[in-house]
Amino acid sequence: MASSTVEDYLKTLYAVHQSTGGTSNVPIGRLASAMGVVPGTATSMMKALADAGLVEYESRAGVRLSPRGEQLALHVLRRHRLVELFLVSALGLDWSVVHEEADRLEHAISDRVLERIDAALGHPTVDPHGDPIPTSKGKLYEPEWVSLAVCETGVKQHVTRVLNQNIDFLRFVEREGLRPGAVVTVQGRDDAADTSTIVVHGRKPTSLSMAVAAQILVSTADPATTAPA
Amino acid sequence: MASSTVEDYLKTLYAVHQSTGGTSNVPIGRLASAMGVVPGTATSMMKALADAGLVEYESRAGVRLSPRGEQLALHVLRRHRLVELFLVSALGLDWSVVHEEADRLEHAISDRVLERIDAALGHPTVDPHGDPIPTSKGKLYEPEWVSLAVCETGVKQHVTRVLNQNIDFLRFVEREGLRPGAVVTVQGRDDAADTSTIVVHGRKPTSLSMAVAAQILVSTADPATTAPA
DNA sequence: ATCATATCTTTGAGTATTCAAAATAACTAT
DNA sequence: ATAGTTATTTTGAATACTCAAAGATATGAT
């Protein structure tokens, strides 16, 4: 059994790998800062995980998950995202807080309980932030959504996913009415000002920095009416 | 924050203390075997917990919970029992397995989530085994139920609580129809054979050893129709 | 090519938890 | 009261995880 700590390293490694394009190895320093530990700690942990066959690691060449490590990471991710959705849907918690709750619960949920939760929720495909939920077989379908920073302008878009899961960011998204499901149009972009001007359905126009806009993914098709994968 | 390990020691100490009448200190050896560790481990842990103000410990005189330790133990117990009931009532898990599930979840549930669960269940007073649930203020009301080994014979009794939470024992209780809520009469007892003969409503008579009968608590009043405390 | 800088690894040490086994204290039965 | 048993404590060591700081390597700018 992998410890909570090991599960956290694998999950983080997966996330960092994804967020950087998913092509090359993850530098130890990036992993260390994502984990909130000093680099030396990450180095020795990666050696241990390499011995356990969960990562592939070569000194000074960064790390990547092994196939087994990736499966484990996806299992943790499945637990995390199903728990998040359950906390919102079944217990009515605020979506801005469930991320941190799930960070603790994801290590304590057995498969038995997890599959009950999955069934109770009707085998959902995305969590409250729009993050896709890996299947019990460890497959993850990542929809090809684009962000408000690059999508077509002047066209109605449906918010599908919010990448940044910081509590304050989520509260901001909430206030602006940009939760998944919301309808929004990008009026235009100002490269010099580094902003996008958007109109959330029924609201006045606002502008977002490109960095913020890049955190909000959208789709022209309404995913609520699209058959899930 | 108390670690899971510390929470487990406090919970176990509370349980052992209760099960032995609750009067004197708990010998280190009893605690160690209840925790599944060697006595030396329990000794050093008790020193640490005494330094942290969670137990009162004197060399070779056993341990007891301090007021703060007892509050913490009751909080853990509340989490454990609410989680058990939630798993049975909301997720439909078998009552024979929820004890071990709750043993892991009890350390990962925040107060925020716990109070949601409590509300969703309608502020219940007992868990699926009939164990009373401490309040959020850390008060525990222990009903004065008697066991099948000592209750009045020839009188209808309602099963209120099953003390032994071993999976196989619970499966046995299930098979015999002796879950909390069941109606049962003790026909008689045979001191020489060390058995009680019981009749579960609508079934043929069976006999139980006194040790087993002592694990099942009953009440002449139907607790389902009695106002909860 | 070479020096400064940034990144990574190593080393030594600390905390929390555990065990095995030796040392000590308490209890019991005569 | 004393020998023998039983319970408890101590000691030394292991594992998992962490940090601080020193040492090694790579990068990249001239």
pLDDT digits (tens, 9 = 90+) for B68-87: 999 999 999 999 999 999 99
Work out the mean pLDDT of chain B and round it to a whole number: 95
Residue A108 near chain B (CB below 8 Å): yes
- C-alpha–C-alpha distance, residues B50 and A42, integer Å: 34
- C-alpha–C-alpha distance, residues A97 and A108, integer Å: 18
Q: Does A90 sit within 8 Å of B113, measured CB to CB?
A: no
Three-class secondary structure assignment of A60-84: CCCEEECHHHHHHHHHHHHHHHHHH
Strand D-proximal residues of B, range 8-27, CB below 7 A, are 27
Mean pLDDT over B3-18 rounds to: 98
Q: Is-contact A216 A159, C-beta < 8 A? A: yes
Query: What are the chain B neighbours of A110 within 8 Å (beta carbons)?
Result: 101, 104
pLDDT-derived band at B22 (thresholds 50, 70, 90) equals: confident
Q: Is the predicted pLDDT of residue B99 greater than 80, yes or no?
A: yes
Covered bases, chain D (protein CB within 7 Å) = 7-12, 16-22, 25-26
φ/ψ of residue B203, rounded to 5:
-125, 175
pLDDT-derived band at B223 (thresholds 50, 70, 90) equals: confident
Q: Is the predicted pLDDT of residue B123 greater than 80, yes or no?
A: yes
- C-alpha–C-alpha distance, residues B47 and B31, integer Å: 14
Please list, in sequence order, all residues whose beta carbon lies within 8 angstroms of the beta carbon of residue B167, skipping any fewer than 6 positions away: B96, B97, B99, B100
Q: Is-contact A197 A186, C-beta < 8 A? A: yes
- C-alpha–C-alpha distance, residues B73 and B13, integer Å: 8
- C-alpha–C-alpha distance, residues A5 and B114, integer Å: 24
Say whether the CB atom of A36 is under 7 angstroms from strand D. Answer: yes
Q: Does B105 sit within 8 Å of A105, measured CB to CB?
A: yes
Say whether the CB atom of A3 is under 7 angstroms from strand C. Answer: no
Residue B92 near chain A (CB below 8 Å): yes
Question: Which pLDDT does position A229 carry in this prediction?
Answer: 47
Q: Is the predicted pLDDT of residue B130 greater than 90, yes or no?
A: yes
Model pLDDT for residues A7-56, shown as the tens digit of each residue: 999 999 999 999 998 889 999 999 999 999 999 999 999 999 999 999 99
Question: Which pLDDT does position B21 carry in this prediction?
Answer: 86
pLDDT-derived band at A222 (thresholds 50, 70, 90) equals: confident
Mean pLDDT over A220-229 rounds to: 68
Mean pLDDT over A121-136 rounds to: 97
Say whether the CB atom of B34 is under 7 angstroms from strand D. Answer: no
- C-alpha–C-alpha distance, residues A82 and A186, integer Å: 31
Strand C-proximal residues of B, range 30-89, CB below 7 A, are 36-41, 44-45, 48, 60
